[in-house]
Amino acid sequence: MGDRLAGKVAVITGGASGIGKATVERFLDEGASVVFADLNDQTGKNFLGELNEAGLGDRARFIRTNVSVEADVEAAVKYAVDEFGRLDIMFNNAGVGGAFGKVTDLELEDWDFTFSVLMRGVFLGTKHAARVMIEQGEGGSIVNTASVAGVGGGCGPQAYSAAKAGVINFVKATCAELAADRIRLNAICPGGILTPLLHRGMGDAMAPMLAKMQPWPEAGRPEHIASAALFLASDDAVFVTGHALVVDGGLTPAGPGVSGGMSEGGSSGMSMDMSAMTKMLGEGVTGVDHGSTGVQMVFRRPEEE
């Protein structure tokens, strides 16, 4: 156990699996008390049970949260203050794959759902965490999960990429407003990370594919992003705000599929490109990916319209 976050209190959304889960574990190891929020109630309760068995239950709490619902986000922040007395760190990490398909075929409700989780969730987490931090008068750190898909280069579906670009620009547009209160606002842009959102239970098969899509010769793992979140959350990053930290094994500068990929058209490591998606699902198929929330992926075929 380290002590880089000793005495700090954090809220982590999407905290029951993948990057969020790894970050909960890392923050606890570094001395923080953590409220982790997740829409998947069963996964959250199971993880809390694991933490209790590991003797960490006194510093860990779980609350079921839909980050697109303001009352839920406000409740998660309040829960941290009620349980641990304060809030120092907010990690707006919850995410989904969201809408996929050709832009001419996408359903408005799928597009809106994608933005409600990826963009609105970041806004709400920032809003309510900042309110508490301003009132405390001791500053704080707000970290948001963006993506290399938001940096550019066609690294993801349209709605996902646009929402993640929005996260990056939200950070840059808002950091100055919060700086006077010593609240730092940053983003992390992961590349291909071996999480349930991506590998769908096929981690062993996916790992070598991800490793081939970037210069660094191993797949990105949730722990890599947790380390970046720890840096931005800790006092080591006290002079860092308004920054989008790319953590992608060199994927962005080299371009996706540098030494082979998942498809003939290459891939970003976050999702297959649209030509590969079309080949796999069929022409005209659209839908929405709910990630690890426990809600099934939806496919819509032309004949179903």
Do 37 and 64 touch, CB atoms closer than 8 A?
A: yes
Task: Please give the backbone phi and psi of residue 62, each rounded to the nearest 5 degrees, phi first.
Answer: -120, 140
Q: State both tokens at 236.
A: 């080591």
Compute the chain's Rg from CA coordinates.
19
Residues that are catalytic: 160
**Nearest-angstrom CA–CA distance, 252 and 120:** 26
CA 211 to chain centre: 20
Among 234, 267, 190, CA closest to 5:
234
Beta carbons within 8 Å of 108's beta carbon, 6+ residues apart = none
Buried b (16+ CB within 10 A) or exposed e, 27-57: bbbbebbbbbbbbbeebbeebbeebeeeebe
Q: Would you give the distance in Å from CA 268 to the centre of its chain?
A: 16
